[in-house]
């Protein structure tokens, strides 16, 4: 990068940078006004939030504290939380099995390795594969997990299975996009060097591409595990198994002490998974 270009990019008073800053401020102001955001409204209503959490003094057990720590309830919620984690793990495995191989076809650089050549028919096939997989990724991840869960509940009935399928479909779209974009950032030099030796596309991908993107793949996969655990807790609202069923039931019946217990279990579980994920990430960085 030339010195003049570096100065331009780092000078906050350059006309281009000022224009970008102004455009960003105008966009924020437009969104703020259109969505009726209001700091005074939040400050005025803050007390209502405190009252809601603390409970109405005239209504017994209407608050969220203290949590219900009776042995039977906690044990029941822990087992359902374990089922939620199992759902997330199975959904993650399903999504990786779908997204990992397809991501190499949804990346321009590896698609060129798999289908080399610039003949019109070859270029048309590559464009069709790339566009189809990108559309598939956008479709599956644009539809919320709850909608997928409702569809699968209607197909296979209540229980963990529709939740696993819903998470698997949604997460496969997310990972397909993330994996393919990660592959496209791989350095081209090792790929070209191995291809020049006459290695087939499988060996080029295995030895020139995969080692470069493994840390990224591991990081994104573990992040989606954490995200899927959080999402799985809500899918129970649709009858798709896990601790979400109890959370929905207790919220609906205003058993707020139990709601707090369930939320604490979810928070602790996600924190444990985050700690385990960080340890695994450290081995690949």
Calculate the CA 141 to chain-centre distance.
9
Are 125 and 260 contained in the same domain?
A: yes
Whether 240 and 90 have beta carbons less than 8 Å apart is answered as: no
Are 44 and 143 contained in the same domain?
A: no
Domain assignment present for residue 175? The answer is yes
Higher pLDDT, 212 or 64: 212
Are 130 and 80 contained in the same domain?
A: yes
Q: Is the pLDDT of residue 112 over 80?
A: yes
Are 79 and 28 contained in the same domain?
A: no
Q: Average pLDDT of the chain?
A: 85
Higher pLDDT, 229 or 59: 229
Q: What string of DSSP letters covers 183-212?
A: HHTS-HHHHHHHHHTT--HHHHIIIIIHHH
Residue 106 sits in a domain whose CATH number is 1.10.3720.10
Q: Is the pLDDT of residue 58 over 80?
A: no
* The total number of structural domains that make up the chain: 2
Q: Is the pLDDT of residue 131 over 70?
A: yes
Are 45 and 81 contained in the same domain?
A: no
Among candidate residues 279, 256, 275, 263, the one with its CA nearest the CA of residue 81: 263
Q: Is the pLDDT of residue 249 over 90?
A: no
Residues 258-267: what's their mean pLDDT? 90
Tokens of 273: 């998974």
Q: What is the pLDDT of residues 148-197, one digit of tens each?
A: 888 888 888 888 888 899 999 999 999 999 999 888 888 888 888 887 78
Give me the domain span that covers residue 49: 3-54
Are 47 and 94 contained in the same domain?
A: no
201 burial via Cβ count (<10 Å: 0-12, 13-18, 19+): middle
Per DSSP, the chain holds a count of helices (H) and strands (E) of 13, 0
The shares of helix, strand and coil residues in the chain, as percent rounded to the nearest 5, are 80, 0, 20
Domain assignment present for residue 64? The answer is no
Domain assignment present for residue 65? The answer is no
Among candidate residues 180, 184, 187, the one with its CA nearest the CA of residue 220: 180
Task: State the pLDDT confidence band at 5, using cuts at 50, 70 and 90.
Answer: low
Max distance between CA atoms of the chain, in angstroms, equals 80
- Is 0.85 surpassed by the pTM of this model? no
Domain assignment present for residue 154? The answer is yes
DSSP 70: -
pLDDT at position 3: 66
């Amino acid at each position: 990068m030339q010195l003049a270009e570096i100065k331009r990019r780092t000078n906050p008073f350059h006309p281009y940078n000022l224009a970008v800053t102004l455009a960003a401020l105008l966009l924020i102001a437009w969104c703020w006004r259109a969505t009726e955001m209001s700091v005074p409204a939040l400050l005025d209503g803050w007390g209502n939030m405190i009252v809601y959490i603390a409970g109405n003094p005239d209504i017994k057990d209407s608050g969220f504290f203290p949590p219900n720590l009776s042995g039977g309830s906690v044990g029941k919620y822990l087992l359902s939380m374990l089922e939620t984690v199992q759902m997330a793990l199975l959904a993650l495995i399903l999504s990786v099995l779908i997204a990992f191989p397809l991501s190499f076809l949804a990346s321009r650089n590896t698609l060129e390795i798999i289908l080399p050549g610039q003949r019109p028919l070859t270029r048309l096939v590559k464009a069709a594969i790339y566009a189809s997989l990108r559309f598939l990724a956008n479709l599956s991840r644009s539809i919320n997990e709850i909608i997928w869960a409702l569809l699968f509940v209607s197909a296979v009935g209540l229980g963990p299975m529709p939740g696993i399928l819903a998470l698997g479909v949604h997460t496969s779209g997310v990972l397909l996009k993330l994996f393919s974009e990660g592959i496209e950032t791989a350095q081209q030099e090792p790929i070209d060097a191995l291809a020049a030796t006459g290695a087939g596309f499988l060996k080029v991908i295995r030895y020139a591409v995969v080692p470069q993107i493994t840390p990224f793949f591991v990081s994104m996969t573990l992040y989606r595990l954490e995200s899927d655990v959080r999402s799985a807790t809500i899918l129970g609202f649709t009858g798709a198994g896990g601790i979400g069923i109890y959370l929905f039931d207790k919220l609906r019946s205003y058993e707020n002490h139990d709601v707090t217990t369930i939320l604490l279990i979810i928070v602790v579980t996600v924190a444990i998974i985050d700690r385990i994920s960080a340890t695994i990430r450290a081995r690949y960085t």
